[in-house]
């Protein structure tokens, strides 16, 4: 792992993914503080804290879902997207989901992974056919690609189905 103090990349303050990640971190920190405090104060105060915690966690999940609609614009943004993808993948495996929810989670997962890897490949100069990437990241599953961007053999395959 590199030392971030020696990082020569420009700051990613303008990356909306990083901004959303910072918002998520702030919401989580506040919710954690409220959960620690909820035993102090009167009953109305406890109810108010629980309601605020609920609002904060709702915002965390909304913000997480917003990340799936954005393409990575920085290494930090790509790392955030891969971390969120890992969280979604864990949820798929650990929670019994009906088929519709499982498919939705898989779409969100793919959007995050393909966005992050696309950015990292572009940033590092890795070509689409390098490192056997098409074997592991099947181009026809890339939710960011239009059908017209796919190789002709993949389009023919889909038309024959």
- pLDDT per residue, tens digit, the chain (161 aa), is 344 444 444 445 689 999 999 999 999 999 999 888 866 655 556 778 889 999 999 999 999 989 999 999 999 999 999 999 999 988 887 877 788 888 888 889 999 999 999 999 999 998 877 787 877 877 767 777 766 665 565 555 545 54
94 in the same domain as 142: yes
How far apart, in whole angstroms, are the C-alpha atoms of residue 139 and residue 129? 10
**CA-closest candidate to residue 67, choices 78, 51, 53:** 78
78 in the same domain as 59: no
Q: Work out how many domains the chain is built from and give that number.
A: 2
59 in the same domain as 77: no
How far apart, in whole angstroms, are the C-alpha atoms of residue 102 and residue 91? 10
For 83, phi then psi, to 5°, come to -65, -40
52 in the same domain as 129: no
155 in the same domain as 84: yes
158 in the same domain as 91: yes
Q: Contacts from 10-14 at CB under 8 Å and sequence distance 24+?
A: 12/73, 12/74, 12/75, 12/76, 12/77, 14/73
54 in the same domain as 85: no
Q: What is the pLDDT of residue 5?
A: 40
Domain that holds residue 111: 73-161
The structure's pTM equals 0.74
Q: What is the pLDDT of residue 112?
A: 95
């Amino acid at each position: 792992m590199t030392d971030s103090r020696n990082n020569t990349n420009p700051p990613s303050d303008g990356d909306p993914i990083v901004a959303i990640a910072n918002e998520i971190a702030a919401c989580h920190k506040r919710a954690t503080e409220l959960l620690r405090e909820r035993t102090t104060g009167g009953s109305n105060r406890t109810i108010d804290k629980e309601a605020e915690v609920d609002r904060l966690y709702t915002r965390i999940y909304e913000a997480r879902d917003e990340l799936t609609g954005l393409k990575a614009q920085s290494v930090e943004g790509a790392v955030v997207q891969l971390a969120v993808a890992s969280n979604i993948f864990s949820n798929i495996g650990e929670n019994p989901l009906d088929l519709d929810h499982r498919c939705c989670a898989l779409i969100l997962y793919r959007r995050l992974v393909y966005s992050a890897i696309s950015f990292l490949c572009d940033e590092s100069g890795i070509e689409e056919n390098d490192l056997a990437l098409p074997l592991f990241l099947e181009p026809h599953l890339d939710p960011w690609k239009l059908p017209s961007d796919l190789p002709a053999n993949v389009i023919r395959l889909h038309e024959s189905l």
